[in-house]
């Protein structure tokens, strides 16, 4: 089971990137979004919730194994957060818009690094797998709201 948890937690090795492993994990989330974008919105939502649950389990296993609270090699949290951020693109019919997908990627990375208010609180106060994953999920929720507003605003303007 540890090998499975390791593969999931590290995003099949993306977490071993020598430069910006979190960005590598987010990029993997972006790549996973493309095939998932063909799902219906309810099925996409169920898939993301399942991903978050599996991410918490895998992160918990690796936190225990590495005796660490949030090891940089764990990037499944970025994958989950990225998938949350991109969700509005399905609802708004922009899932295959390269520009909007890239905007969502950049927005999530900024929020994940910046950790505004409640995101920072979760990062500092939750421990184990839930602590590793849920702050990124909340950053993803903020990213989803921001991305949705940007798409709607651009449609209203143009």
Residues whose CB is less than 8 angstroms from the CB of residue 24 and which lie 6 or more positions away in sequence, other chains included? 11, 14, 15, 17, 75
Domain residues for the domain of 45 are 2-12+20-157
Count of domains for the chain: 1
What are the helix (H) ranges across 10-115?
A: 21-36, 41-66, 76-91, 98-114
Q: What's the pTM?
A: 0.97
Residue 121 confidence class, pLDDT cut points 50, 70, 90:
very high
Contact 123, 54 (CB under 8 A): no
Is the pLDDT at 123 greater than 90? The verdict is: yes
For all residues of the chain together, what is the average pLDDT?
A: 97
pLDDT tens digit sequence for 10-63: 999 999 999 999 999 999 999 999 999 999 999 999 999 999 999 999 999 999
Whole-number pLDDT of residue 6: 98
Asked if the model's pLDDT at residue 146 lies above 80, the reply is yes
pLDDT tens-digit map of 54-102: 999 999 999 999 999 999 999 999 999 999 999 999 999 999 999 999 9
CB of 156 within 8 A of CB of 99?
A: no
Does the pLDDT of residue 149 top 80, yes or no? yes
Say what the pLDDT of residue 158 is.
75
Evaluate whether 16 touches 74 at the Cβ level (below 8 Å). no
State how far the Cα of 83 lies from the Cα of 37, in Å rounded to an integer. Answer: 10
């Amino acid at each position: 089971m540890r090998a499975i948890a390791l593969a999931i937690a590290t995003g099949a090795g993306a977490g071993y990137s020598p430069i910006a492993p979190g960005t590598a994990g987010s990029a993997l989330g972006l790549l996973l979004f493309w095939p998932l974008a063909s799902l219906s919105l309810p099925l996409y939502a169920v898939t993301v919730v399942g991903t978050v649950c599996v991410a918490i389990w895998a992160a918990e296993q690796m936190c225990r194994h590495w005796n660490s609270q949030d090891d940089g090699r764990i990037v499944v949290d970025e994958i989950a957060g990225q998938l949350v951020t991109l969700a509005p693109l399905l609802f708004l019919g922009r899932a295959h818009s390269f520009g909007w997908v890239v905007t969502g990627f950049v927005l999530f990375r900024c929020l994940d690094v910046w950790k505004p208010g409640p995101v920072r609180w979760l990062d500092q106060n939750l421990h184990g797998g839930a602590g590793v994953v849920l702050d990124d999920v909340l950053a993803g929720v903020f990213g989803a709201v921001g991305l949705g507003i940007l798409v709607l605003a651009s449609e209203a303007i143009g």
